Structure 1
């Protein structure tokens, strides 16, 4: 367990100013000393880099040198907590967790099997079905063209941040996007209200808290207007999902749709903090504080309750360098 405070490194920190500030505020609230550091391919020349105690320029995630560069920073700066902010390095970090542990650093990602399920949307949907949770059907192009349905969602099975995610209407659009989007899967279109649920699980796989957030408005795949909502059925099903996934100490960001008939369809599992996570923190589910408590004290003081009906309006702001 960690006792001397937290030297934290956020990877691909980019625009995640709110997330970094949330950890800074949580450390102060919990009485922890904390250094908030960022790593990004732009180094200090990004918003979160400007707000970091130290900012480090690293190669793109897919570069062969990326892992060694992170390890060099971890050792040089005595980093004891590494927090990824996007999907692209999750499997790499989960696979190399032991190397970072030997360097005195906890990598805050779920265990490797859970990350592999989350990163491959085909595996995600198979897992959801095995858990008895509703999810959209997956079609081959031939099946989709023969279907009576007129609208389909297409996206890469290993995609991130809604990149190359499209709604195809009619057979011409369907064929065009199926041939255009690399590694595409074709999904049943489900109409309804979109939600994101933030789930916190302890190292013992206990589901500590589930916070549903209504996605009122979305920009570039991230929520721009959101509202917390207490939905007992949604919370119960998300608990079941996390209990079956058994991710260890982690945060899961689960996306789903609630139909007008009240049915819940699970769409995606993200094994990291979502862009709208600060809304969950502000509503009383202080995940950053609970992470620090788990790592320093072996247990988190995590209440199940949160403030429902809290709205968040996100906007662009400026940092002057």
Structure 2
């Protein structure tokens, strides 16, 4: 069995985890990235430098790699690529490759924060107050429904890019006036933030396992320090989201805020989250589940089956490559 990890970037740990699981079957893990300086490439058994995923030659290139290396499954590690891969899912399946990730429709909802907000409201899943025009925010503020500070972010975006805190209506107006992107405004939750790593069975679509961490420190949009926790209110919230959703398969990463003792689902990334190594090191092995699913096995459901009060502390490592 062979796997291909797309846009592997700096996710060295994900490659290492997959290699441990697949080596038992005599398989290999291949990597692909548009940059030859992506460190995770050099963890792979072999790798390929490919066009940017928006390039017309990207999908034909990946299909050719899959045929050449007899790839059984592939997945992407970045949000913006997920919709492209999902769009061509049938092309991959026609050559025997399983695509690990959401359907095209589910990927679109996650990438478009307005669609996700509407989905959460329609399914009565608590989420933070959000506004998608300056006038709507001003009207809500006049009614006393929200006030500064607030956060603004692109409606289409990932990895916390473009997020900034705003303290006044003057500053907010200037940002909207100058922005070349569609923006949204969100209330400042000002409470604890949690990251949830989930696995949804590829064959049944059922939630198999979740891992919850309280985020203690963030860096460049990813969790830098965290501690594992068991929280049944968060478990129930995630279960409700999955039960009301369609089209999610494999790993998904969910952000949740706590405010005044209540929990609010903020964002969903249908891929391995940047903090997933915390879950893996606590015994929550999604790579094993993926391989079981590819073999046709259905994974056994587990709830919060890990130790709490385990800390994750990220630090920098160096990869030296000789030309």
Which TM bucket (shorter chain)? over 0.9
Task: Report the Cα offset of residue 245 of structure 1.
Answer: 0.9
**Mapping of residues 293-312 of structure 1, within 5 Å:** 293-304=292-303, 305-312=305-312
The C-alpha deviation readout for 1:112-154, integer Å capped at 9, x for no partner, is 2221211111111111112211112222202323515012211
Task: Report the Cα offset of residue 312 of structure 1.
Answer: 0.8
TM-score normalized with structure 2 length: 0.92
The answer on whether the counterparts of 2:102 and 2:248 sit within 8 Å (CA) in structure 1 is yes
Task: Report the Cα offset of residue 258 of structure 1.
Answer: 0.8
**Mapping of residues 17-96 of structure 1, within 5 Å:** 17-28=12-23, 31-43=24-36, 45-96=37-88
How far apart, CA to CA, are the structure 2 residues paired with 1:56 and 1:262? 48
**Mapping of residues 91-130 of structure 1, within 5 Å:** 91-130=83-122
Aligned to 1:183: 182
Matched, 1:269 2:281: no
Task: Report the Cα offset of residue 26 of structure 1.
Answer: 2.6
The answer on whether the counterparts of 2:195 and 2:254 sit within 8 Å (CA) in structure 1 is yes
**Alignment length (residue pairs):** 312
The answer on whether the counterparts of 1:178 and 1:184 sit within 8 Å (CA) in structure 2 is yes
Residue in structure 2 matching 1:167, options 165, 168, 182: 165
In structure 2, runs of 5+ residues without a counterpart are none
The answer on whether the counterparts of 1:258 and 1:264 sit within 8 Å (CA) in structure 2 is yes
Aligned to 2:136: 143
Q: Which deviates further from its counterpart, 117-126 or 132-141?
A: 132-141
The answer on whether the counterparts of 2:120 and 2:127 sit within 8 Å (CA) in structure 1 is yes
Equivalent position SS for 1:245: coil
How far apart, CA to CA, are the structure 1 residues paired with 2:262 and 2:237? 11
Task: Report the Cα offset of residue 301 of structure 1.
Answer: 4.2
Task: Report the Cα offset of residue 248 of structure 1.
Answer: 4.6
Task: Report the Cα offset of residue 298 of structure 1.
Answer: 2.3
Aligned to 1:316: 316
CA RMSD, 1 decimal: 1.5
How far apart, CA to CA, are the structure 2 residues paired with 1:34 and 1:314? 29
TM-score normalized with structure 1 length: 0.93
Task: Report the Cα offset of residue 274 of structure 1.
Answer: 0.6
Task: Report the Cα offset of residue 34 of structure 1.
Answer: 2.4
Equivalent position SS for 1:174: helix
Q: Which deviates further from its counterpart, 197-206 or 144-153?
A: 144-153
How far apart, CA to CA, are the structure 1 residues paired with 2:236 and 2:206? 14
How far apart, CA to CA, are the structure 2 residues paired with 1:204 and 1:255? 24
Q: Which deviates further from its counterpart, 187-196 or 215-224?
A: 187-196
Task: Report the Cα offset of residue 57 of structure 1.
Answer: 0.6
Instruction: Quickly say closer, same or farther: Cα 1:249–1:32, change in 2 above 3 A.
Output: farther
